[in-house]
Every structure is written in C-alpha cells, then in structure tokens.
Chain A
C-alpha cells in the first residue's frame, strides 16, 4: 500500500500542516511506500514559493478560489488505486477526506492522532493489511481506536501533532489539473479579515477566562490584570458564545491549541474539550470557587476562591 499527503495550498499555515503530516508519517508510516502528494492551491507558482516539500512529486489541483466541490472533482478523477490519503488538520482537510472516501466507496476517520497496521487473514488463507486509527471522542474525554474497512483510506489529522522539519526545495510538479469555475452554487463571495487574534499561538503567558467570570464587566478586570502580567487573554466556549470576547480568543478543540510558559485559568471548570487546548502549557494555574472542578487536578497550582479579588490583587502587585 502507498500513502499520499493531500495538502491545502490555500491555507496560511500550509507549512505547519505539512510539517505535521511529515511528523505523522515518520512516527506511524515507517516502511510504507510514499506516493506523490496532491496539492490543492491557487497556482503552481504558490506551490513553488513554499520552497519546501515532503514528497518528491506532486499533482496540483488549482482554482483561484477554494471550493471543496472543485477540489473533490479533481481529486476523485485522478485517484485510480486504493491506498492511504493523509489530509491536513484544518476544516478543509476534514471535509475533503470524508467526502472523498464517500465518493470512492472508501472509509474515513477525521482528526486522527495515530495509526497502525495489522495483518488479518482474509478467510482464504491470504493475509491482508488493516488500518487502525486512534482519535479523541466524547469531547476529548476518551480516546477510541477504529478499524477502517475499505480502501481508499482517507484520514485527516488531529491538531497539535508532533511536527517534522520539511525538506528544502520545491516539489516536482507532475501535473496540474485546473478546476476553475466549478462552484456554480456560489453567486458571489467576500472575505472579511478579522482584527488580529493577538497571537495566542505564540503567547508566553495566557490568562484564560471561563463562564465563572460571569459578565463583560468582570472581563474588563481580567483584561486589566492581563496587561499587568503581560498576558494574552483567552476564553472558554461559553465566554466566547456570550461575546465577552471574540471567537478568535477561544481556546480548546474548537479554538486555539496553545502551549505557553504560564497559563492562568479563572472561572474555568476544565472540561476536556477546553483542557486539550492548554494541555501543552508548561505551568498551569487554576482559580475556581469549586474545589471539585476537574481543572483543580489538572493544574500545577490551584486556588480555591473567587477569581475577582485574586485578579485585583495580582493587578496591584504588578503595578
């Protein structure tokens, strides 16, 4: 069996996605033969500009604007054999892997954490390879193993996986398939960039507020303390849903996955879907009125108390 990387050349973080694909292959696909990469992108020029590669050769599926339907058309037309297709860790990767498998009667697993092969007898004495994949389920409370039954096997990767440095130099482009004007359902579209996320990804100190902060006025206290601590402010899902902060400040499986030196949480219970986003922090502080909240066992230091006087005092100290 061969494996292929499928790359989102439209993504701003394409290099990081490729590094994680490389990391995944190195860890779990040792010994398996690698086939050409498939890159969906604006143009061959964009791909050349990366000046990095993780497969020798690549087939491009190009269109000025990304539309999953156009990519799928190019992708499914092109794929003759079975094999394993490894998509990146973004929404496009997830959607395309599922739809490609459905179209080609294969099987798919989204947000895969790891993969292994087993040999099973096919009944007639012959041995066949089976692909097994591990992923998070129950909103990150548990990890499940799945066996995939049908080729082609299409998986998208979980975010935050180990990465591996890419090779220097460009892909050798074998073929370019143009898929322009295939999204007939889109009458018009416009992109609205949002105010900068403030670099949660690179932040060294993060102050994360949860539902326990209770309202927007209290968020102002969090903001003030964060300034004193030189921390970036982040929020849990309920705090973002209540618009106490914009969605781009959300931490967790559906938001940013961060790894600061210090992460202080205030009024956060520590649900698994949130915690997955801060798990990589070197040092975690939890402030919560409930000593039984899950976060109180997953932090390095915990304070059982109301967050408000704690924040105010920290702010005084930092002055």
Chain B
C-alpha cells in the first residue's frame, strides 16, 4: 500500500517576539528568524505512518511511505530526516516565499494532487488538519474533492489490515470511532497523543539520509494557474493583555499564602 504524508515546515510561532505581532498594513508576518519545526499535526501524521509500518512486520502487507512538502530549500533537511527514518520517497515542490503558501490552500492542494497524479500514485494521502501559520483547515478536504476520495478527519491512530484496507481511529465528540476503511482515502490527522516524531540514529542518518530529494517546480504541478477563491485583505494584531499584578515575597510559600488570602479565598468561597 502506498501512503503519502504531506507536511509543512513552519516557523516556531512561540518564538516570535511580541513586537512582530503588532505590525499593521502587512498581509504576512516576518517569521524568517524563527526556528523551523514540523507543523505539529503533520508531525503526528508522519509518526503514525512509521508506526503503521512497524506494526505490519510479520503481516502480509507492505507499506511504501513517501513524503511531500511544499516550501523553501531549508525544508529539505526535514525530508532527509524522513529518509533516515525509513521513508522511501521524499519530494519538495520548490516555493521559496513563505507568504505564497500561507493562505493558499487551493494552490497547495492542486500541487499535491498533481504530484500524486503525475509523479507517484498513492492509495492513501495523510495530512495534518491545519498548519500553524495559515490555519486554513482546508487542504485535506480539498484533496478529497479533487480525487473524489472519502476523507476521515481528526485521525489519531492507524493499524494495518491488508493491502486494501486500514484500521483508522479518529477522535469525535465524546469518544473515538474505530473504522475499517477501504482505500483510497484522505486522512486528516488531529491531536494524536504521544506522536512526536522519533529521532533517527546517526548510523541511519549516514546511511539513508543522504539521498537526494526530488525537486519539483510549482508551474509543473499546476500551481501557477490556480487562483484562490478567497483572498486575504488585512491582518490585525490582537491585544489580550490584562493589568497583571505580580505577587512579590521572599519565598514561594509566602507567595502561595498571599495568592490564597488576597485573591483566591473570597472568590472560592463565593462559589
């Protein structure tokens, strides 16, 4: 079974300094200095793929894992990590400007769809439910529509069955649903617990991590002709500050007592 994990490499937004959120008259934020990380939901998706592959050992099913990202040159080191972890294919659609892929889910899904149609056919496409910067929450659903495939959202677990079927666990209100699903399908990964991506060994990095990444151009993937049906027109900062009082005292115990006496006791007794 061929499974494609689509991921975005994003700036760690927790590291963006306050001033940078307070800009006006811009349609994107300069995040160039922030450390790059896996988009959290996509990271969960990639780790789930590896676990699925682990679970298939001894079973009569083989998973071919591929990964695709759309982004800058710098993202290739992430693809090499995936090679070292056992992915057999890694491709990047080369878009060097962050803002071009920020609010462009239609273009992104067109790029992914054309990769699957023209370069590497797939049985399953995995994505995260959204990226941390654009927050569009659209790409997996648009992919499902482009292929006419069914989609399952908020996926938190995958288990092998056979070459045509997967066991998919997804989170829903009040619990989770475990389904046996026929492929092809699109799966959108949600909050999967314990799904930080594993770290490759140095040996695996040396042996597998050096393979070149397949580079594709956006114009060859139909991305240049795609016009978004929704356009960003403004970006506004948000002020969430309160007039914070900092409790000063010599020891943590004293601070706790002050917190309780002055601020909590009455409030809690009123409840």
B268–A205 touching, CB < 8 Å: yes
Task: With A98-B142, A103-B145, A138-B135 as known contacts, state yes or no: A186 contacts B179, CB within 8 Å.
Answer: yes
Q: Among the listed A95, A271, A299, which residue makes an inter-chain contact with B14, where contact means beta carbons less than 8 Å apart?
A: A271
Write the nearest CB–CB distance from A155 to chain B, whole angstroms. 10
A150-B229, A194-B174 known; A183 vs B150 contact (CB < 8 Å): yes
B271 to chain A, nearest CB (A): 5
Query: Chain A: interface secondary structure?
Result: mixed
| A50 located at the interface, meaning its Cβ lies under 8 Å from any Cβ of chain B in the complex | no
* B13-36 CB contacts (< 8 Å) to partner A: 13-14, 16, 18, 21, 29
A226 to B156, CA, bound (A): 29
Judge whether B271 and A68 touch: CB under 8 Å.
no
A144-B232 contact given A187-B180, A241-B195, CB 8 Å threshold: yes
CB distance A141 to B256 under 8 Å?
no
A sample of 14 inter-chain contacts (CB < 8 A) reads: A12-B173, A69-B150, A90-B173, A139-B132, A142-B236, A149-B228, A188-B180, A191-B172, A241-B194, A271-B13, A273-B132, A303-B256, A304-B246, A309-B253
Chain B CB within 8 A of A132 CB: yes
CB distance from B151 to the nearest CB of A (A): 7
> Which of A19-27, A31-39, A105-113 lies at the interface with chain B?
A105-113
Cβ 8 A contact of A247, one of B13, B171, B267: B171
Query: In the complex, are the beta carbons of B247 and A301 less than 8 A apart?
Result: yes
Tell me, yes or no, whether B264 is within 8 Å of chain A by CB. yes
Residues of B183-210 contacting chain A, CB below 8 A: 183, 185, 190-191, 193-196
Q: Which residue of A lies closest to B156 (CB)?
A: A247
Is B177's beta carbon under 8 Å from chain A? yes
Give the 6 A-B residue pairs with the shortest CB-CB distance, closest first.
A313-B256, A107-B229, A309-B252, A187-B180, A102-B145, A98-B141
A240 to B194, CA, bound (A): 8
Minimum CB–CB distance for B32 against chain A, Å? 14
When the two chains form the complex, which single residue of A98, A107, A143, A255 contacts B137, counting CB atoms closer than 8 Å? A98
Contact A137 B133, beta carbon cutoff 8 Å:
yes
Chain A: CB-nearest residue to B236: A143
Q: Determine how close the nearest CB of chain A comes to the CB of B12; give it in whole angstroms.
A: 10
Known: A190-B178, A302-B246. 11 other contacts (CB 8 A): A91-B129, A102-B141, A144-B236, A150-B229, A185-B181, A185-B183, A187-B179, A189-B179, A255-B191, A284-B242, A297-B244
Q: Which residues of A contact B176 (CB under 8 A)?
A: 191-192, 194
Contact of A285 with B257 in the complex, beta carbons under 8 Å: no
Tell me whether B233 is interfacial, beta carbon within 8 Å. yes
Report A86-143 residues with CB < 8 Å from chain B CB: 90-91, 94-95, 98-99, 101-103, 106-111, 132, 135-143
In the complex, the answer to whether B150 meets A145 with C-beta atoms within 8 Å is no
Q: Mark A293-319, 1 if CB is under 8 A from B, else 0.
A: 010111111111110011001100100
- Give the number of residues in B that approach A within 8 Å (Cβ atoms): 80
Name the B residues within 8 Å of A205 (CB-CB). 268, 271
B-side contacts of A230, CB under 8 Å: 268, 271
Proximity bits, B134-151, A CB within 8 Å = 1, else 0: 111110011011100011
Max chain A C-beta neighbours (<10 A), residue from B145, B156, B185: B145
Chain B positions within 8 Å of A229 at CB level: 264, 268
Per-position contact with B for A171-193: 1 when CB-CB < 8 Å, else 0?
00000000000011111111111
Tell me the nearest residue of chain B to A299, going by C-beta. B244
Q: Which residues of B contact A29 (CB under 8 A)?
A: none
- The answer to whether A301 and B263 touch across the interface, beta carbons within 8 angstroms, is yes
Q: Cβ of A146 < 8 Å from any Cβ of B?
A: yes
| B174 pairs with A109, CB closer than 8 A | no
**Which residue in A297, A298, A299, A317 is a CB contact (below 8 Å) of B256?**
A317
Contacting pair B263 A94 (CB below 8 A): no
Given A110-B136, A149-B231, are A138 and B252 also a contact pair (CB < 8 Å)?
A: no
CA distance A283 to B178 in the complex (A): 39
Which chain A residues (193-234) contact chain B, with CB distance < 8 Å?
A: 193-194, 204-205, 229-230
Q: Check if B133 sits within 8 Å of A149, measured CB to CB.
A: no
Check B59 for interface membership: any CB of A closer than 8 A.
no
Q: Is B58 an interface residue (CB 8 A)?
A: no
Do B271 and A142 touch (CB < 8 A)? no
Q: Is the pair A142, B237 in contact by a Cβ cutoff of 8 Å?
A: yes
Tell yes or no: B255 within 8 A of A by CB.
yes
Contact A299 B242 (CB under 8 A): yes
Report the separation of the CA atoms of residues A95 and B252 in the bound assembly, to the nearest whole angstrom.
48
Q: A98-B142, A141-B16, A298-B241 are in contact. Are A146 and B231 (CB under 8 A)?
A: yes
| Residues of B close to A107: CB separation below 8 A | 229-230
Cross-chain contact A242 with B194 (CB below 8 angstroms): yes
CB of B179 within 8 A of CB of A285, answer no
B141's contact among A12, A95, A275, A294, by CB below 8 Å, is which? A95
In the assembled complex, the CB of B172 is this many whole angstroms from the nearest CB of chain A, namely: 8
The verdict on A57 contacting chain B, using a C-beta distance below 8 Å, is no
Instruction: Report if A147 contacts B (CB, 8 A).
Output: yes
Out of A12, A13, A262, A310, name the residue touching B252 (CB < 8 Å). Answer: A310
Contacts of A309 in B (CB 8 A): 251-253, 256
A148 located at the interface, meaning its Cβ lies under 8 Å from any Cβ of chain B in the complex: yes
A62→B247 CA distance, assembly (Å): 57
In angstroms, how far is the closest chain A Cβ from the Cβ of B124? Answer: 11
Assess the B174–A193 pair: CB atoms within 8 A: yes
> Given the complex, which residues of B lie within 8 Å of A69, measured CB to CB?
150-151
B217 at interface, CB cutoff 8 A: no
